[in-house]
């Protein structure tokens, strides 16, 4: 069976850590920032990890 290609869009958005966790940026921090509170913008600026079935599906897209 041939090797699977890495999904280009996923590799730009998600990073695989040394321990196998998936790290991504939060959505909704590109525009309409004036109406969002400072605490909300700070929370959205931090990275987040993916868990469960979602992480499993994305790992398959990355070929990991």
* pLDDT at 3 (0 to 100): 84
* pLDDT at 1 (0 to 100): 80
CA 41 – CA 62 distance, rounded (Å): 29
Model pTM greater than 0.85?
no
* pLDDT at 59 (0 to 100): 95
∠ CA 25-26-30, nearest 5°, is 100
* pLDDT at 11 (0 to 100): 95
pLDDT, tens digit, 9 for 90 and up, residues 4-63:
899 999 999 999 999 999 999 999 999 999 999 999 999 999 999 999 999 999 999 999
∠ CA 18-48-30, nearest 5°, is 125
- Whether 2 has a pLDDT exceeding 90, the answer reads no
């Amino acid at each position: 069976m041939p090797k699977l290609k890495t999904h280009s869009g996923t590799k730009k958005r998600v990073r695989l850590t040394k321990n196998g966790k998936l790290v991504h940026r939060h959505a909704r921090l590109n525009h309409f920032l004036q109406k969002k509170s400072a605490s909300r913008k700070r929370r959205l600026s931090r990275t987040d990890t993916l868990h469960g079935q979602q992480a499993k599906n994305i790992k398959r897209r990355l070929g990991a």
